[in-house]
């Protein structure tokens, strides 16, 4: 079943702008807490939000840093807050795992999905199962990308 996309969500953060360096505070080299996220253009019938944070530059392919669902519809997710039910990330943990690239500059995608339902899946569910369940319920989606390197790398 195809999602009924109603529009685009606008995802921003007061901590960093699109394509900019993610502050150390939100990485494994800092406090390792989630950055604040601001969401605009929520569809009228949004029942819940899903947040997925991923690094496609990881050596073994996409590395999931955070999965959280059943987030109440809101225009703000505060810094360091767990706003819903968490899944298991690729660190094997059920919490936000900040950027921690082994080498070089990596890109981190913060994706937000507005859904027409609350999801009935267990805490600890992984990325693939979450994506299968949320698919037909997506009303809108937004994305924010930041970069991070643990070394002094010239950023393009």
- For 89-109, letters b (16+ CB in 10 Å) and e give bbbeebbbbbbbbeeebbebb
| pLDDT of amino acid 154 | 42
Lowest mean pLDDT among 107-111, 113-117, 152-156: 152-156
**How much is the pTM?**
0.92
> Residue 99 has which token pair?
């950027």
DSSP 118-154: -----TT--HHHHHHHHGGGEEEEEEEEEEE-SS---
pLDDT at residue number 153: 42
| % residues pLDDT > 90 (the chain) | 89
Give the domains, in start order, of the chain with CATH numbers.
7-148 (3.90.280.10)
pLDDT at 7: 78
> Per-residue pLDDT tens for 78-91?
999 999 999 999 99
Q: Are the CB atoms for 122 and 90 separated by under 8 Å?
A: no
pLDDT digits (tens, 9 = 90+) for 17-72: 999 999 999 999 999 999 999 999 999 999 999 999 999 999 999 999 999 999 99
Query: What value does the mean pLDDT take over residues 97-109?
Result: 96
pLDDT of 147: 98
Q: What is the pLDDT of residue 23?
A: 98
């Amino acid at each position: 079943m195809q999602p009924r996309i109603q529009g685009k969500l606008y995802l921003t953060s007061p901590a960093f702008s699109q394509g900019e360096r993610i502050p150390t505070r939100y990485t494994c080299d800092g406090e390792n807490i989630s950055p604040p996220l601001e969401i605009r253009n929520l569809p009228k019938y949004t029942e819940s939000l899903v947040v997925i944070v991923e690094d496609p530059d990881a050596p073994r392919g996409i590395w999931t840093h955070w999965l959280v669902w059943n987030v109440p519809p809101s225009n703000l997710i505060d810094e360091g807050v767990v706003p819903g039910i968490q899944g298991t990330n690729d660190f094997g943990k059920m919490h936000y795992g900040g950027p921690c690239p082994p080498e070089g500059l990596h890109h981190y995608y913060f994706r937000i999905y507005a859904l027409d339902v609350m999801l009935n899946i267990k805490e600890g569910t992984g990325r693939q199962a979450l994506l299968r369940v949320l698919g037909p319920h997506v009303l809108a989606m937004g994305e924010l990308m930041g970069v991070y390197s643990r070394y002094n790398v010239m950023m393009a």
